[in-house]
Structure formats: structure tokens, C-alpha cells
Structure 1
Amino acid sequence: MNILVYGAGVIGSVYAARLQEAGHRVSLLARGQRAVSLRTHGIQLENAANGRKTTTQVSIVERLAPTDSYDVVLVTVRFDQLHAVLPILAANRQVSTLLFLLSNPVGMQQFALLDPQRIVLGFPAIGGVRKEDVVHYITLRQMPTMLGEVDGRVTPRLRQLAAIFKQAGFTARLSPDMQTWLQTHAITDIGIISATIMAGKKSALLARSRHNVAQLVQAIREGLLALRALGTPLTPFSLTLLFLWLPRWFTVTLMQALLRSRLSTLGIDPHLGDDIGEYNQMAQEIMERLRTSPRTTPTLNRLLVSLEQPTH
């Protein structure tokens, strides 16, 4: 399969390298010094779970032209960068499948410029940080690469995408309602990032305070209940179980353990710098919706103030 990965950050780099190694023809869109580095040194990865280092050569391109043809464009840019990318994708009508592997709490509202038939929604299963030219990453076992058609059908296209990700070593799962999945996930994401900032911008610092983690759990619980009160079914079920059904003390203990783990070091802490703009925009979008709910979110509201503060 001929694949363009649009975005050369942590997520795009890992998916591009894995798909290339699985035998696909992969191009990676990068610009500036990142493009120079990738052409010179290839995609340099280090798996934080086992220390394995790899270097993978892929074709580097700096733009998607209206006449360029690929089987799939895999979009891995940040949510706050998406508005700049959509006109470029809309101008190219050669590519029939645009897979968005990114945070998107507003679903299809973002994609007015695009033919909905071209769109597949998804979410990545990678966390990490790029230090100079090397991407240090970890695969999130608790969260597979999520994929879903806009209308919820399980199509041959969706099965094919799941197959190529599995071939590349990822776990893939199909969702009948990715738009709801992304909204639910956004509430947990913005809650965790906000609480971590307030605790000193380190997930391990947040984990030390049971009181602060309890506030985080309450904030996420409020957000989920407010979303459900709007008639939105919560998915995945694991979040409903964790934040709404299990005893509060158990969820707090589990969250403390998670925040002390390497998963948090690479999956949360790297987002506390330049990525804050992305989470601030996500928070604005999801809270605009939650404000119409009959359920209030006072704890979540207090946490989200941290996203509006300077991070340096």
C-alpha cells in the first residue's frame, strides 16, 4: 500500500517507520530542519519499553500537491494544527482515504471542507517524546489503535486498515462510534493534563498527592456524567467502569499507580510544553458542549484554568 504520513512528530514517525518495515511504501511529510534530519539520518526510534533502537529510511516529502496520489493519507498532526492542513487535503482529490489519527473532541464538525466518504476517524496507540533526532516512544497496551467509519459501519476499507496496522505490529480495534469515543477520551485527556500542570507539571508529582488525584477522578467523573446527560453514550466501556462504577478509592489508587509509571512519563509529561495549546483548544471545544448539559462540572472547570496559564 502507498501511504503518506502527514506529520513527522512522535506519532507520525513511529507509524511511518513501522508501516515501512512491514513492507508498505511510505512517504513522510516533514518540513524545515526535521525534513533535513530525516533525509540524512532516517527515522531514529528508541522503544522505551525494551531499549531497542532502529533506523528506518522512508521517502521524505515537504508538501501534498493536488495531483499527488496515495492509497491512504495518515494525518497525525496536533488538533490545534488541523485547521491549516484541511484546505490542503481538500485540494487533493486523488486520495480516497484520509485517516485522522489524532485528538478530535468535535468529530465531523471539523471536516466541512472534506467529502465525508473520504474520512476515517481514529486515535493512535503511541506516546513519547522527540529528543533532538531520536524519538523515544512507548506503545500504549491499554489503548489499541482505534479506527472507525463516520457512519459506524465495518467496511472492507476499515478491515484493510486494521490489517495493515496489525501487520506493522500494532493492536487495532474497530469502533462503531468513533465520534463519541473521541469526545469521551478528550474529557479524560484534558483532565489529566490539567491536573498534572497544577501539581507541578510532572505526573509523578501528581501521583504523590492522593487528594489531587481524587480531585482529578472527580473532574473526569463530572465531565462524563455531563456528556451522558446530553444523550451521548459513553464509550469505551472501560472508562465508564473506571470512573462511574468502581469505588472511588479504588479508581484513585489505580490512577496513582498509572501516574507513577513509564507510560505517564512518556504519554503525559511530554505534552506539558508546546502541546498545551492543543489541550487548551480541546478543552474549549468540549466545554462548549458540556455547558449545555443539565449536569454541572465545577471540579473540572477549576482544573481547566491551568491550561490558560503560561507554562514557562
Structure 2
Amino acid sequence: MKILVYGAGVLGSQLAQVLVRGGNDVTILARGKRAEELEKDGIVIRHVFQFKTTVDPVRVVRTLEANDQYDLIFVVMKYNDFPSVLPILAENQSNNIVIVGNNADARSMQTYLEEHSPREKQVAFGFHVSGGRRDKDRMLSIGGGSAQMVIGSLDGEIGFKPLLDQAFQRVKYKLNYLSDIDAWLKSHIIPILMLNAVSFNEQYELKKLDGNKRQLVHMIEAMDEGISVLEAMGISVIPEIQGRLIRKHKRMLYLLLKIYSLLPMHKLLAGVFGEIEALSDAFTNWKKTTGTPTPHWDVLKRDFTRLK
């Protein structure tokens, strides 16, 4: 199967490796130094918990032309980068697109592709459940080939589901199909945003979490407020266990976050400043629309805003 992975960051590289190992004809879109690394060395991933490094050759392109044809395109990038590639995707003749990553505005992205493309577009949205970071010329991964993608369509079943199943059938990678992917994506933003609001210094670089009681309490209560905002929008938290943990088991969540703050692993799961800023803006709009009070989030937001 001919597949394009549009984006060669940590998660894009992980997904491309999985698809290559599934026997697919995989091309990865990269630019600059990253494109040169991939052409020279292939996809080099150090799997942290598996204590191994894998190397997989892959075809590299630097642009997606209008006449390029792929069976599947996976767009794997940060939320704040999606708008810049939508016009390119709309002009391309490929029909089946999966937009992968944090997403607060899936519906408008799908609408743009449908309205601006001369060809019919079938669009799905997903989240590659993994983590990692770049380390010189390779990627550190905590997911590896046994990871999964939460995936779904905004309008019923994905029209190209058989192609997706075929692409992943030979690898240890689970496609977790959901009937309400938009609710899952919006629910996922809540803990991601609250955890990352305290994760940057004045240079927008990741810093070690303090893990003090005041900080952790604000983070947990801000997650609760985030659920209230979603509820005011008519959105149920998915998965339900996330909502129960935040609202009914705060002492347990406090202890988990305390441990998390002390471990270096949080840097493998953390976001980047630009994306967190964009997600923060989206959440602020939700909050204004619903009129939901969020005093604990306001404290975190104040600290986050000082960095700008």
C-alpha cells in the first residue's frame, strides 16, 4: 500500500517506522536537516523501555505536489501547524487523509478540506498514543511498534477503514476505533493543557516540574474545571475513567502526579510551547463561550502567560 506520512517529528517517525515494518510502501515528508538525516540513515529510533535501537530505510520527499497519489496520507504534526498544510492537502488528488495529533478544531479542518478540494476527501482524525523526544540524529520513543492509535470519523464509520486495517495488519499496533473521536480529542486536551501549563521557563524550554502541593492542587482542580467546560458544551468526557479519576479520586491523582513530577519521564511526554499556547487559546474560547468559571485554570494561565 502506498502511504505518505506528512511530518517527520517524533510521532511521525514512530508511525512511519510501524508502517514500514508492516510491509507498506512508505514515504515520509520532511525538510531541511531532518530530510537529510532520513535519506542518509533511515528512521533511527531508540526505544527507551525496550533497550534497543531500530533503523529502517524510508523514501523521503520534501513537498506534496497536487498530482502525487497515495492510498493513505497520515498528517502527523502539532496542532498549531495543521492550518499551514490544509491548503496543500486540499490541492492534492489523494482521497483518504488521517489528521493525527492534538486537535481542538477537527470539524473546521474537515470542512476546509471538503470545501477547497477539487476531489472528494474522506477525512479521519486520530491520536498516536506514544511519546518521546528528539536526541541529536535519532528519536527517543516510549511507545515503539506495540503502540496504538485512537481513531475515528466525525460522521459515522470511516469510509476507508478496510485500507487502514490492511496497512496495520502485520504489526503489533492497535487501531482503537471510536464513535466520537471529537469528544476524545477535546477530553484529551484537558489533562495535556493543565499538565503543560507549568512546564516551561522564560526561554520556552521544558523545565523540571516543581511537584509542590500548591501547583499540583491547581493542576487537578483545573482539570475538574476543564471537564465542566466540556459539559457546558454538551461534550462527554471520553474515556469515562478519565473523568472519574479527576473528580472522584483526587487523592490518588495527586499521588500519581507527585510521582510523575519527580521522574524524568515527563520530558518524554511533554508538549512544546507553541502547541500548548494554541491549545490554551482554544480552551479560553470554549470557556468564554460557555461562561464557565475556572479560577484554578486562571492561576495556571497567568503563570503561563507571563512567559510570552
Fold match by TM threshold 0.5: yes
Letter of the structure 1 residue corresponding to residue 28 of structure 2: L
Take 2:134 and 2:124, find their aligned partners in 1: how far apart are those partners?
27
- 1:280 is the counterpart of 2:282: no
Q: Distance in 2 between matches of 1:182 and 1:139?
A: 19
Tell me if structure 2 keeps the 8 A contact 1:123–1:145: yes
Q: What SS is found at the alignment partner of 2:209?
A: helix
User: Residue 179 of structure 1 is aligned with which of 179, 182, 185?
Assistant: 182
Give 5+ residue unaligned stretches, structure 1.
none
- 1:183 and 1:92 map into 2 onto residues whose CA distance is 28
Task: Please state whether the residue corresponding to 1:205 is helix, strand or coil.
Answer: coil
Q: In structure 2, do the counterparts of structure 1 residues 217 and 163 end up closer, same or farther at CA, with 3 Å as the change threshold?
A: farther
Question: 1:209-288 counterparts in 2 under 5 A?
Answer: 209-246=212-249, 248-261=250-263, 263-268=265-270, 271=271, 275-288=272-285
Instruction: Call closer, same or farther: CA 1:202–1:4 in 2, change over 3 Å.
Output: closer
Distance (whole Å) between structure 1 residues aligned to residue 27 and residue 45 of structure 2: 17
Query: CA offsets, 1:101-130, max 9 Å, x none?
Result: 111112212333212852101111121111
Q: Is the 8 A contact 1:140 1:263 kept in 2?
A: no
What is the match of residue 73 of structure 1?
A: 73
* 8 Å CA contact retained: 1:203, 1:264: no
Asked whether the equivalents of residues 95 and 122 of structure 2 are also in contact (C-alpha less than 8 Å), the reply is yes
1:215-272 per-residue CA deviation (whole Å, 9 max, x = no partner) reads: 10001111111211222111111211111222x212211222334445423112xx3x
1:145 corresponds to 2:142: no
- Pairing 1:170–2:173 present: yes
Deviations 1:10-35 (A, max 9, x none): 01111111210121110000111111
Q: Relative to structure 1, is the Cα distance of residues 176 and 206 closer, same or farther in structure 2, using a 3 angstrom cutoff?
A: farther
CA RMSD of aligned residues (A): 2.5
Tell me by how many angstroms 1:144 deviates. 3.7
**Aligned positions, number:** 302
The equivalent of 1:299 in structure 2 is: 296
Match of 1:111 in 2: 110
Q: Is the 8 A contact 1:86 1:111 kept in 2?
A: no
Equivalent-residue separation in structure 2 for 1:241 and 1:166 (angstroms):
34
1:84 is aligned to 2:81? no
Amino acid of the structure 2 residue aligned with 1:136: L
State the distance in 2 between where 1:197 and 1:228 align: 29
Q: Counterparts of 1:15-94 in structure 2 under 5 Å?
A: 15-93=15-93
Identify if the C-alpha distance between structure 1 residues 279 and 214 changes in structure 2 by more than 3 Å, giving closer, same or farther.
same
1:150-165 superposed matches below 5 A:
150-153=154-157, 155=158, 157-158=160-161, 160-162=163-165, 164-165=167-168
Greater shift in the superposed pair: 256-265 or 73-82:
256-265
- Runs (4+) of structure 1 exceeding 4 A deviation are 200-204
Give the TM-score taking structure 2 as reference length: 0.90
Closer, same or farther: CA 72–306 of 1 in aligned 2, 3 Å: farther
Report sequence identity in percent: 25
Task: Decide whether the 8 Å contact of 1:20 with 1:26 is kept in 2.
Answer: yes
Cα distance 1:294–1:84, how it changes in 2: closer, same or farther (>3 A)? closer
Letter in 2 for 1:22: G
Gaps of 5+ in 2: 115-119
Q: Which moved more, 1:248-257 or 1:12-21?
A: 248-257
Query: Residues 194 and 307 of structure 1 are in contact (CA less than 8 Å); yes or no, is this contact kept in structure 2?
Result: yes
